[in-house]
């Protein structure tokens, strides 16, 4: 399942660093139920010997101006947050609806909408259009992990 957010900058000086991934992760963890935030951040989900976080988020792709390492949005941002754990996305969406504001770095944004996209039906073959090169590798040395 995925959440598509619509975020509008609050104030004229809304800008955030070009390397913003850590800030977006912080937004996600701060807007989760305290127990879920602790479990996902500290423990993740165990799969044999690995700890998986089981969520991902998109880049902020909307038109932005780059000035001295800072991005300034030129319209609403529409990030996507995805997870197979429904409880995780429910908690995140509820907090966003309650708070209606969030910060990416020092930039404040108003949450205009939270859309839910349910998982597409599984198919054996899919065609993907990617926005950047994809590297695929495995860190598994054996089938057991």
- Ordered by where they begin, the domains of the chain are 2-117 (3.30.70.1890)
What are 78-120's pLDDT values in tens digits? 999 999 899 999 999 999 999 999 998 888 999 999 999 987 7
What are 51-78's pLDDT values in tens digits? 888 898 998 877 888 989 899 999 999 9
CA 18 to chain centre: 16
Work out the burial of residue 51: count CB atoms within 10 Å of its CB; fewer than 13 is exposed, 13-18 middle, 19 or more buried: exposed
pLDDT band at 24 (very low <50, low <70, confident <90, very high): very high
Q: What are phi and psi of 92, to 5 degrees?
A: -60, -50
Tokens of 54: 């089981």
DSSP assigned state of 39? I
């Amino acid at each position: 399942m995925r959440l598509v957010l619509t975020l509008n900058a609050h104030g004229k000086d809304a800008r955030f660093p070009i390397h913003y991934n850590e800030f977006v992760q912080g937004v996600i963890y701060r807007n989760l139920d305290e127990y879920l935030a602790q479990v996902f951040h500290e423990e993740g989900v165990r799969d044999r010997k690995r700890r998986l976080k089981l969520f991902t988020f998109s880049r902020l792709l909307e038109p932005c101006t780059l000035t001295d390492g800072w991005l300034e949005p030129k319209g609403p941002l529409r990030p996507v947050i995805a997870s197979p754990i429904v409880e995780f996305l429910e908690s995140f969406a509820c907090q966003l609806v309650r708070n209606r504001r969030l910060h990416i770095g020092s930039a404040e944004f108003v949450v205009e909408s939270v859309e839910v996209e349910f998982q597409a039906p599984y198919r054996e073959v899919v065609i993907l259009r990617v926005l950047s090169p994809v590297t695929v590798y495995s860190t598994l040395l054996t089938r057991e992990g």
